[in-house]
Amino acid sequence: MSSEDVYILGIKMTKFGKHKELDTLDLACEATFAALADGGVTMKDMGIIAAGNLMGGAAPIAQLIQKQAGQTGIPAYNVSNACATGATALRVACMSVKAGESDFGLAVGVEKLAGAGLLAGGSRKSDGDSWQRSGRYGAVAPVDGRIGTDTMPGVFAQIGMEYGNKYGGANFELFAQISEKNHGHSTLNPLAAYSKKMSLEEIMGDLMIAYPNTRPMCSANCDGAAAAVVVSASKLATLSLEQQRRAVKISASILTSDPFEEACQVLPNVNTLTRNAATQAYEQAGVGPADLDLVELHDCFATAELVHYDNLMLCEEGGAVDFFKSGAPFRDGTTPVNVSGGLQSKGHPIAATGIANIWEVCHHLRGEAGPRQIEGAKVGLAHVIGLASACGVHILEKSAA
């Protein structure tokens, strides 16, 4: 493997929310041009583009972005990896730069989801009581609604309840308190889809989606895009001192998938592949959980945030409830988590989320996060997970320039 270090030179996200006047390509190009400008480079400098748009059908989004932003004939990769799509696009660009194929790479994630409702996933093939064999997977009957659920709200509700049953202390009120924290954090984020503080009573009294997650405890589907420009360390050394000062080192870039487990045939395991990714990331970066100044993790539901405290080893195994109750994951705590407001407030335009989480960490490491700035932030972690399953973990470090 090449020893060439890779840095984020420019990175931006659009405001998440409803963009009725903009289509998918408009949003993607807004983020692209903003990231290029943030890095002080142009499309002509890019040696590769990797882009993802999960819900937009078969359109080659990477090539479409080039037609708007500049067709230079570079390799274009179209990425689809569930909620980890954006993080995977960034890894593709990083791998090209690390391999010495490109000096600069561009990664983009974009989604139009406002008004889509809950992304329930799963589908019932028949309303009848009997099952009929059909298709490639005809030997396997769909189980949704029969012996359980494979819808996202249901799966993550079960994951949270499973953790509480195993270790204790995780109840409806505690999960609601996690959501209360994130909605409170969002009030300082002008790019969040929702920047409204919510009381514990409001959260617990809202529409129940899948116990113990009410509507405010679920990720907000919305429109949005995020883009990042990466550069090799050797090329960065030739750029201006200001570009070097604002560059953020990617100390670790890890992508994992599920190892086979019998239990995964019953309930998706978001724990093992996340813990594996975190373990590899800490080793690659040469840091540990105690070195992190902030974390942006994939809180697609309040229940997910709790289990990922444990999976990312921010606490001892089984200690997620105590970790939260200690105040550690609050903005003024020892390990601030989701100071952006998280997916529950910032929003979750699927393919954009992985890069948007990284943008939030970069914003703090550069000292540019305004009123929500984590003072003295030098090391941060961004995590994203997509069922099927894929987990991306990036550890980022402030430039030494």
Residue 108: φ, ψ to 5°: -140, 140
Query: Partners of 17 in the beta sheet?
Result: 223
Write down the pLDDT at residue 114. Answer: 85
Three-state SS sequence of 106-158: EEEEEECCCCCCCCCCCCCCCCCCCCCCCCCCCCCCCCECCCECCCHHHHHHH
What does pTM read for this prediction? 0.92
Residues near 229 by beta carbon (within 8 Å), at least 6 away in sequence: 8, 9, 10, 11, 35, 36, 38, 39, 41, 46, 104, 105, 106
Q: In what order do the strands lie in the sheet with 104-111?
A: 76-79, 49-52, 104-111, 224-232, 6-13, 248-257, 390-398, 379-386, 294-296
Could you give the CA distance from residue 92 to residue 174 in angstroms, rounded to a whole number? 38
CB-CB neighbours of 373 under 10 Å: 17
Could you give the CA distance from residue 250 to residue 382 in angstroms, rounded to a whole number? 11
Is 175 contained in some domain?
no
How is residue 105 written in tokens? 């790479």
* β strands within 156-276, DSSP E: 208-210, 213-214, 224-232, 248-257
Write down the pLDDT at residue 68. Answer: 94
Is 364 contained in some domain?
yes
Write down the pLDDT at residue 135. Answer: 62
Is 214 contained in some domain?
no
At which residue do the structure tokens 């399953």 appear? 389
Could you give the CA distance from residue 140 to residue 146 in angstroms, rounded to a whole number? 13
Q: Which of 305, 339, 337, 340 is nearest to 320 (CA)?
A: 305
Decide: 233 and 358 in contact? Cβ < 8 Å. no
Low-confidence ranges of the chain (pLDDT < 50): 1, 120-127
Is 293 contained in some domain?
yes
What is the count of structural domains for the chain? 1
Could you give the CA distance from residue 52 to residue 349 in angstroms, rounded to a whole number? 11
CATH assignment of the domain containing 78:
3.40.47.10
Could you give the CA distance from residue 205 to residue 103 in angstroms, rounded to a whole number? 52
Q: Which domain holds residue 67?
A: 6-115+220-398
Is 349 contained in some domain?
yes
Is 262 contained in some domain?
yes
Kindly calculate the radius of gyration of the chain based on its CA atoms and give it in whole angstroms: 20
Decide: 66 and 48 in contact? Cβ < 8 Å. no
For β-strands 104-111 and 224-232, DSSP reports them as antiparallel
Decide: 346 and 376 in contact? Cβ < 8 Å. no
Write down the pLDDT at residue 131. Answer: 53
For β-strands 379-386 and 390-398, DSSP reports them as antiparallel
Could you give the CA distance from residue 150 to residue 143 in angstroms, rounded to a whole number? 8
Is 144 contained in some domain?
no
Could you give the CA distance from residue 213 to residue 206 in angstroms, rounded to a whole number? 10
Which helix (H) or strand (E) segment holds residue 396: the answer is strand 390-398
Is 334 contained in some domain?
yes
Residues near 25 by beta carbon (within 8 Å), at least 6 away in sequence: 61, 64, 65, 68
Residue 106: φ, ψ to 5°: -125, 130
pLDDT in tens, 273-306: 999 999 999 999 999 999 999 999 999 999 999 9
Write down the pLDDT at residue 268. Answer: 78
Full DSSP string of 274-294: HHHHHHHHHHHHT--GGG-SE
Q: Which of 234, 168, 176, 167 is nearest to 201 (CA)?
A: 176
